[in-house]
Structure 1
Amino acid sequence: MGTRGKCRGPRATALLAAALAIPLSGCGGSEGYTVPEEICGRKIDPGFVRALLPEGERFEAEMTPIGDNMTRCMLSVDGQRELGIREYRDGGDFDAMEFAAERPRRFRNPEKASFGADTVVSDGKVLSLNPCTYQEERVVYILDITVNRFDADSSDGWREELERFAEAYLPVGMAETGCEE
Protein backbone atom coordinates (compact mmCIF):
# COMPACT_ATOMS: atom_id res chain seq x y z
CA MET A 1 0.00 0.00 0.00
CA GLY A 2 1.41 3.44 -0.97
CA THR A 3 1.23 6.77 0.84
CA ARG A 4 -1.96 7.89 -0.87
CA GLY A 5 -4.36 9.36 1.69
CA LYS A 6 -1.79 9.33 4.46
CA CYS A 7 0.08 12.29 5.91
CA ARG A 8 3.55 12.75 4.55
CA GLY A 9 6.57 13.89 6.52
CA PRO A 10 7.31 17.61 6.82
CA ARG A 11 9.95 17.63 4.08
CA ALA A 12 7.78 15.77 1.59
CA THR A 13 4.81 17.96 2.42
CA ALA A 14 6.84 21.15 1.90
CA LEU A 15 8.17 19.91 -1.45
CA LEU A 16 4.72 18.89 -2.60
CA ALA A 17 3.24 22.24 -1.55
CA ALA A 18 5.97 24.15 -3.39
CA ALA A 19 5.58 22.02 -6.50
CA LEU A 20 1.81 22.26 -6.65
CA ALA A 21 1.49 25.78 -5.16
CA ILE A 22 -1.75 24.78 -3.44
CA PRO A 23 -2.62 24.81 0.24
CA LEU A 24 -2.52 21.45 1.98
CA SER A 25 -4.90 20.38 4.70
CA GLY A 26 -5.65 17.33 6.73
CA CYS A 27 -2.10 16.57 7.82
CA GLY A 28 -1.43 18.63 10.84
CA GLY A 29 -3.22 22.06 10.94
CA SER A 30 -2.60 25.29 9.20
CA GLU A 31 0.50 27.33 9.65
CA GLY A 32 -1.50 30.45 10.45
CA TYR A 33 -0.69 33.91 9.19
CA THR A 34 2.37 35.32 7.48
CA VAL A 35 3.89 38.63 8.54
CA PRO A 36 4.75 40.67 5.43
CA GLU A 37 8.17 42.25 4.92
CA GLU A 38 6.58 45.69 5.11
CA ILE A 39 4.24 46.74 7.91
CA CYS A 40 2.66 50.17 8.01
CA GLY A 41 5.03 51.40 5.33
CA ARG A 42 8.14 50.19 7.19
CA LYS A 43 10.34 47.40 5.82
CA ILE A 44 11.34 45.23 8.75
CA ASP A 45 12.44 41.61 9.06
CA PRO A 46 9.22 39.61 9.63
CA GLY A 47 11.06 37.43 12.15
CA PHE A 48 11.46 40.39 14.53
CA VAL A 49 7.73 41.11 14.31
CA ARG A 50 6.55 37.49 14.48
CA ALA A 51 8.51 36.87 17.70
CA LEU A 52 6.23 39.37 19.50
CA LEU A 53 2.92 38.05 18.23
CA PRO A 54 0.78 35.07 19.25
CA GLU A 55 -0.25 32.18 17.03
CA GLY A 56 -3.37 32.75 15.00
CA GLU A 57 -4.93 32.71 11.58
CA ARG A 58 -5.16 36.36 10.47
CA PHE A 59 -2.59 39.16 10.71
CA GLU A 60 -3.51 42.81 10.14
CA ALA A 61 -1.51 46.03 10.30
CA GLU A 62 -3.24 49.40 10.34
CA MET A 63 -1.39 52.71 10.09
CA THR A 64 -3.18 55.82 11.32
CA PRO A 65 -1.70 59.30 10.91
CA ILE A 66 -2.50 61.52 13.88
CA GLY A 67 -1.85 65.12 12.95
CA ASP A 68 1.27 66.12 11.06
CA ASN A 69 3.84 64.73 13.49
CA MET A 70 2.48 61.41 14.78
CA THR A 71 1.57 58.01 13.40
CA ARG A 72 0.19 54.92 15.07
CA CYS A 73 0.54 51.41 13.71
CA MET A 74 -1.54 48.68 15.31
CA LEU A 75 -0.70 45.05 14.64
CA SER A 76 -3.52 42.61 15.27
CA VAL A 77 -3.86 38.84 15.22
CA ASP A 78 -7.34 37.39 14.77
CA GLY A 79 -8.88 40.77 15.55
CA GLN A 80 -6.98 41.31 18.82
CA ARG A 81 -4.58 44.26 19.05
CA GLU A 82 -1.23 42.79 19.98
CA LEU A 83 1.48 45.34 19.21
CA GLY A 84 1.28 49.12 19.08
CA ILE A 85 3.92 51.33 17.48
CA ARG A 86 3.70 55.10 17.84
CA GLU A 87 6.11 57.48 16.20
CA TYR A 88 6.33 61.18 17.00
CA ARG A 89 8.39 63.65 15.07
CA ASP A 90 9.12 66.69 17.21
CA GLY A 91 7.70 64.95 20.25
CA GLY A 92 9.60 67.08 22.72
CA ASP A 93 12.86 66.54 24.50
CA PHE A 94 12.88 64.82 27.90
CA ASP A 95 14.79 62.10 29.72
CA ALA A 96 13.43 58.65 28.82
CA MET A 97 14.48 56.96 32.07
CA GLU A 98 13.02 59.74 34.20
CA PHE A 99 9.78 59.57 32.20
CA ALA A 100 9.62 55.77 32.70
CA ALA A 101 10.45 55.97 36.41
CA GLU A 102 7.55 58.38 36.94
CA ARG A 103 5.16 55.87 35.31
CA PRO A 104 5.83 52.50 37.00
CA ARG A 105 2.52 50.98 35.87
CA ARG A 106 3.43 51.51 32.22
CA PHE A 107 7.17 50.85 32.51
CA ARG A 108 7.93 47.81 34.67
CA ASN A 109 11.61 47.21 35.37
CA PRO A 110 12.93 49.93 33.02
CA GLU A 111 16.56 49.80 31.91
CA LYS A 112 18.65 51.91 29.56
CA ALA A 113 19.15 50.26 26.19
CA SER A 114 22.34 50.21 24.14
CA PHE A 115 20.74 51.63 20.98
CA GLY A 116 19.26 54.99 20.11
CA ALA A 117 20.21 58.30 21.68
CA ASP A 118 18.08 57.85 24.82
CA THR A 119 16.20 54.54 24.95
CA VAL A 120 14.48 52.68 27.77
CA VAL A 121 13.34 49.07 27.51
CA SER A 122 10.93 47.70 30.09
CA ASP A 123 8.72 44.65 30.39
CA GLY A 124 6.50 45.00 27.34
CA LYS A 125 7.41 48.59 26.37
CA VAL A 126 10.15 50.58 24.61
CA LEU A 127 10.57 54.35 24.58
CA SER A 128 13.32 55.84 22.43
CA LEU A 129 14.12 59.56 21.98
CA ASN A 130 16.43 60.52 19.11
CA PRO A 131 17.43 64.01 18.00
CA CYS A 132 17.27 64.41 14.23
CA THR A 133 16.91 66.96 11.48
CA TYR A 134 13.58 67.31 9.70
CA GLN A 135 13.32 69.88 6.92
CA GLU A 136 16.45 71.65 8.20
CA GLU A 137 15.04 71.95 11.73
CA ARG A 138 16.28 70.06 14.81
CA VAL A 139 13.52 67.91 16.27
CA VAL A 140 13.21 64.78 18.42
CA TYR A 141 11.94 61.54 16.91
CA ILE A 142 10.19 59.39 19.53
CA LEU A 143 9.52 55.70 19.06
CA ASP A 144 7.02 54.20 21.53
CA ILE A 145 6.33 50.45 21.24
CA THR A 146 3.93 48.47 23.42
CA VAL A 147 3.26 44.73 23.47
CA ASN A 148 -0.39 44.62 24.51
CA ARG A 149 -0.54 41.00 25.62
CA PHE A 150 2.60 41.09 27.73
CA ASP A 151 2.33 39.43 31.12
CA ALA A 152 4.79 41.10 33.50
CA ASP A 153 4.78 38.04 35.75
CA SER A 154 6.01 35.79 32.94
CA SER A 155 9.70 35.60 32.08
CA ASP A 156 9.28 34.28 28.57
CA GLY A 157 11.97 36.31 26.79
CA TRP A 158 9.67 38.97 25.36
CA ARG A 159 11.86 41.72 26.67
CA GLU A 160 14.84 40.60 24.59
CA GLU A 161 12.66 40.08 21.52
CA LEU A 162 11.10 43.51 22.01
CA GLU A 163 14.53 45.11 22.28
CA ARG A 164 15.71 43.40 19.06
CA PHE A 165 12.58 44.53 17.24
CA ALA A 166 12.90 48.15 18.46
CA GLU A 167 16.59 48.32 17.54
CA ALA A 168 15.83 47.11 14.01
CA TYR A 169 12.76 49.35 13.65
CA LEU A 170 14.36 52.60 14.89
CA PRO A 171 16.48 53.55 11.82
CA VAL A 172 13.69 52.52 9.43
CA GLY A 173 11.08 54.55 11.31
CA MET A 174 13.32 57.60 11.48
CA ALA A 175 14.06 57.45 7.75
CA GLU A 176 10.41 56.93 6.81
CA THR A 177 9.29 59.94 8.87
CA GLY A 178 11.89 62.14 7.19
CA CYS A 179 14.28 62.38 10.15
CA GLU A 180 17.95 62.55 9.32
CA GLU A 181 20.62 62.11 11.97
Structure 2
Amino acid sequence: MITYYSFFRNGSPILLALTALLTACGTDETNYAVPDEICDTPIAPDTLQALLPSGEQLEAAPSSVSIVMTCEVKVDAKLHIDITGFAVLGARDPSEHARSLRLENPVEENWGPDIPAVLADDGAVVSLPCGAGDGTDAMLAEIHVYGDHMPEDERRGRVTDFTRSYVTGLAEQLNCDARPATTGSP
Protein backbone atom coordinates (compact mmCIF):
# COMPACT_ATOMS: atom_id res chain seq x y z
CA MET A 1 0.00 0.00 0.00
CA ILE A 2 1.32 3.43 -0.95
CA THR A 3 0.68 6.31 1.39
CA TYR A 4 0.46 9.87 0.02
CA TYR A 5 1.16 12.85 2.27
CA SER A 6 -0.04 16.32 1.68
CA PHE A 7 2.80 18.49 0.38
CA PHE A 8 1.39 21.55 2.07
CA ARG A 9 1.48 19.91 5.48
CA ASN A 10 4.87 18.17 5.32
CA GLY A 11 6.68 19.82 2.44
CA SER A 12 6.18 23.48 3.30
CA PRO A 13 9.19 23.73 5.66
CA ILE A 14 11.40 22.36 2.90
CA LEU A 15 9.90 24.76 0.37
CA LEU A 16 10.38 27.73 2.73
CA ALA A 17 14.00 26.78 3.40
CA LEU A 18 14.68 26.38 -0.32
CA THR A 19 13.06 29.76 -1.09
CA ALA A 20 15.14 31.48 1.60
CA LEU A 21 18.32 29.89 0.25
CA LEU A 22 17.58 30.92 -3.34
CA THR A 23 16.69 34.44 -2.25
CA ALA A 24 19.93 34.77 -0.30
CA CYS A 25 21.98 33.51 -3.25
CA GLY A 26 20.26 35.76 -5.74
CA THR A 27 20.74 39.14 -4.10
CA ASP A 28 21.83 41.90 -6.44
CA GLU A 29 24.18 43.81 -4.20
CA THR A 30 26.71 46.32 -5.40
CA ASN A 31 29.75 46.00 -3.17
CA TYR A 32 32.00 48.37 -5.10
CA ALA A 33 32.29 52.12 -4.79
CA VAL A 34 31.26 54.08 -7.87
CA PRO A 35 33.91 56.73 -8.59
CA ASP A 36 33.34 60.29 -9.78
CA GLU A 37 36.19 59.88 -12.28
CA ILE A 38 37.18 57.10 -14.66
CA CYS A 39 40.45 57.01 -16.57
CA ASP A 40 41.30 60.56 -15.44
CA THR A 41 37.96 61.88 -16.77
CA PRO A 42 35.36 63.28 -14.35
CA ILE A 43 31.86 61.81 -14.66
CA ALA A 44 28.59 61.85 -12.73
CA PRO A 45 28.77 58.63 -10.65
CA ASP A 46 25.03 57.97 -10.91
CA THR A 47 25.25 57.85 -14.73
CA LEU A 48 28.02 55.23 -14.50
CA GLN A 49 26.16 53.21 -11.85
CA ALA A 50 23.05 53.10 -14.05
CA LEU A 51 25.03 51.24 -16.74
CA LEU A 52 26.72 48.68 -14.48
CA PRO A 53 25.46 45.49 -12.88
CA SER A 54 25.83 44.52 -9.25
CA GLY A 55 29.13 42.95 -8.27
CA GLU A 56 32.09 42.91 -5.97
CA GLN A 57 34.83 44.89 -7.73
CA LEU A 58 34.91 47.78 -10.21
CA GLU A 59 37.93 48.46 -12.39
CA ALA A 60 38.46 51.37 -14.78
CA ALA A 61 41.85 51.19 -16.46
CA PRO A 62 43.24 53.72 -18.97
CA SER A 63 45.76 52.91 -21.62
CA SER A 64 47.24 55.06 -24.33
CA VAL A 65 48.55 54.01 -27.70
CA SER A 66 49.73 56.89 -29.88
CA ILE A 67 46.73 59.19 -30.49
CA VAL A 68 44.22 56.57 -29.36
CA MET A 69 43.19 56.46 -25.71
CA THR A 70 41.09 53.68 -24.29
CA CYS A 71 39.29 53.02 -21.03
CA GLU A 72 37.73 49.74 -19.97
CA VAL A 73 35.22 49.59 -17.12
CA LYS A 74 34.80 46.13 -15.62
CA VAL A 75 32.73 44.67 -12.84
CA ASP A 76 34.10 41.44 -11.39
CA ALA A 77 36.59 41.25 -14.27
CA LYS A 78 33.79 41.34 -16.90
CA LEU A 79 33.87 44.19 -19.45
CA HIS A 80 30.76 46.43 -19.33
CA ILE A 81 31.91 49.73 -20.86
CA ASP A 82 34.62 50.21 -23.46
CA ILE A 83 35.61 53.78 -24.37
CA THR A 84 37.99 54.73 -27.17
CA GLY A 85 39.05 58.32 -27.77
CA PHE A 86 40.72 59.36 -30.98
CA ALA A 87 42.67 62.63 -30.97
CA VAL A 88 42.51 63.84 -34.58
CA LEU A 89 43.23 66.76 -36.89
CA GLY A 90 39.95 68.19 -38.13
CA ALA A 91 36.56 67.21 -36.78
CA ARG A 92 35.27 63.77 -37.68
CA ASP A 93 31.69 62.99 -38.55
CA PRO A 94 30.42 60.66 -35.80
CA SER A 95 27.59 59.35 -37.99
CA GLU A 96 30.09 58.14 -40.57
CA HIS A 97 32.16 56.47 -37.86
CA ALA A 98 29.07 54.99 -36.17
CA ARG A 99 27.96 53.29 -39.41
CA SER A 100 31.04 51.07 -39.31
CA LEU A 101 30.29 50.09 -35.68
CA ARG A 102 26.81 48.68 -36.35
CA LEU A 103 25.29 50.28 -33.25
CA GLU A 104 21.73 49.29 -32.25
CA ASN A 105 19.10 51.85 -33.31
CA PRO A 106 21.43 54.84 -33.81
CA VAL A 107 20.00 58.37 -33.70
CA GLU A 108 21.88 61.56 -34.60
CA GLU A 109 21.77 64.55 -32.26
CA ASN A 110 23.48 67.90 -31.98
CA TRP A 111 24.81 68.67 -28.50
CA GLY A 112 25.97 72.19 -29.24
CA PRO A 113 28.11 74.12 -31.70
CA ASP A 114 30.28 71.60 -33.50
CA ILE A 115 29.39 68.73 -31.15
CA PRO A 116 27.51 66.15 -33.24
CA ALA A 117 26.59 62.89 -31.52
CA VAL A 118 25.23 59.50 -32.52
CA LEU A 119 23.42 57.73 -29.68
CA ALA A 120 22.32 54.12 -29.68
CA ASP A 121 20.96 51.45 -27.36
CA ASP A 122 24.44 49.93 -26.97
CA GLY A 123 26.78 52.89 -27.29
CA ALA A 124 27.53 56.29 -28.73
CA VAL A 125 29.97 58.28 -30.86
CA VAL A 126 30.55 61.98 -30.17
CA SER A 127 32.85 64.50 -31.86
CA LEU A 128 34.30 67.19 -29.59
CA PRO A 129 36.03 70.20 -31.22
CA CYS A 130 39.05 70.14 -28.94
CA GLY A 131 42.38 68.38 -29.22
CA ALA A 132 44.51 66.59 -26.67
CA GLY A 133 47.16 69.34 -26.66
CA ASP A 134 49.46 67.45 -28.97
CA GLY A 135 48.73 69.29 -32.20
CA THR A 136 45.32 67.68 -32.62
CA ASP A 137 42.18 69.80 -32.71
CA ALA A 138 39.32 67.33 -32.20
CA MET A 139 38.40 64.26 -30.17
CA LEU A 140 36.14 61.47 -31.35
CA ALA A 141 34.79 59.45 -28.41
CA GLU A 142 33.43 55.98 -29.12
CA ILE A 143 31.53 54.28 -26.29
CA HIS A 144 30.29 50.68 -26.20
CA VAL A 145 28.06 49.29 -23.45
CA TYR A 146 27.76 45.54 -22.94
CA GLY A 147 25.46 43.27 -20.94
CA ASP A 148 21.77 42.66 -20.49
CA HIS A 149 21.48 43.67 -16.82
CA MET A 150 19.51 46.89 -17.56
CA PRO A 151 15.83 47.18 -18.40
CA GLU A 152 15.69 47.40 -22.19
CA ASP A 153 13.33 50.38 -22.18
CA GLU A 154 15.79 52.40 -20.03
CA ARG A 155 19.00 51.40 -21.79
CA ARG A 156 19.23 54.22 -24.37
CA GLY A 157 18.49 56.90 -21.76
CA ARG A 158 21.16 55.51 -19.46
CA VAL A 159 23.71 55.32 -22.28
CA THR A 160 22.86 58.91 -23.28
CA ASP A 161 23.17 60.23 -19.72
CA PHE A 162 26.53 58.53 -19.22
CA THR A 163 27.84 59.67 -22.62
CA ARG A 164 26.87 63.29 -21.92
CA SER A 165 28.55 63.08 -18.49
CA TYR A 166 31.70 61.50 -19.93
CA VAL A 167 32.04 63.97 -22.82
CA THR A 168 31.46 66.90 -20.44
CA GLY A 169 34.21 65.52 -18.17
CA LEU A 170 36.48 64.98 -21.17
CA ALA A 171 35.95 68.61 -22.24
CA GLU A 172 36.87 69.73 -18.72
CA GLN A 173 39.90 67.43 -18.62
CA LEU A 174 41.18 68.75 -21.96
CA ASN A 175 40.28 72.35 -21.02
CA CYS A 176 38.04 72.71 -24.07
CA ASP A 177 35.90 75.77 -24.66
CA ALA A 178 33.14 73.58 -26.12
CA ARG A 179 30.82 71.75 -23.73
CA PRO A 180 27.82 69.56 -24.56
CA ALA A 181 24.46 71.24 -24.03
CA THR A 182 22.52 69.87 -21.07
CA THR A 183 19.92 68.32 -23.38
CA GLY A 184 20.21 67.11 -26.95
CA SER A 185 18.21 68.21 -29.91
CA PRO A 186 17.21 65.89 -32.71
Same fold (TM over 0.5): yes
User: Would you say the 8 A contact 1:63–1:71 is kept in 2?
Assistant: yes
| 2:55 match: secondary structure | coil
Task: Specify the alignment match of 1:32 in structure 2.
Answer: 31
Unaligned runs of 5+ in 2: 1-26, 179-186
Q: How does 1:22-171 map to 2 (within 5 A)?
A: 31-67=30-66, 69-90=67-88, 93-100=91-98, 102-103=99-100, 106-115=102-111, 117-132=115-130, 135=133, 139-149=137-147, 155-171=152-168
| 1:159 match: secondary structure | helix
Distance in 1 (alpha carbons) for counterparts of 2:40 and 2:60: 10
Two-structure CA RMSD over aligned residues (Å): 2.7
Instruction: Give the letter for the 2:48 counterpart.
Output: V
User: Would you say the 8 A contact 1:86–1:143 is kept in 2?
Assistant: yes
User: Would you say the 8 A contact 2:132–2:139 is kept in 1?
Assistant: no
Deviation at 1:29, TM superposition (A): 8.3
User: Would you say the 8 A contact 2:129–2:137 is kept in 1?
Assistant: yes
How many residues matched? Answer: 149
User: Would you say the 8 A contact 1:141–1:179 is kept in 2?
Assistant: no
Distance in 2 (alpha carbons) for counterparts of 1:29 and 1:135: 42
Rate the CA distance shift 1:161–1:91 in 2: closer, same or farther, 3 A.
farther
Instruction: Give the letter for the 2:109 counterpart.
Output: A
> If the length of structure 1 is used for normalisation, what is the TM-score?
0.70
Unaligned runs of 5+ in 1: 1-27
Distance in 2 (alpha carbons) for counterparts of 1:168 and 1:30: 24
Structure 1 residues 27-66: Cα deviation after superposition (integer angstroms, max 9, x where no partner): x885421111221112212111010011111111111111
Instruction: Give the letter for the 2:39 counterpart.
Output: C
Distance in 1 (alpha carbons) for counterparts of 2:89 and 2:75: 29
Percentage of identical aligned residues: 26
Instruction: Give the letter for the 1:156 counterpart.
Output: D
Instruction: Give the letter for the 1:42 counterpart.
Output: T
Distance in 1 (alpha carbons) for counterparts of 2:136 and 2:29: 49
Instruction: Give the letter for the 2:41 counterpart.
Output: R
| 1:127 match: secondary structure | strand
Instruction: Give the letter for the 1:94 counterpart.
Output: R
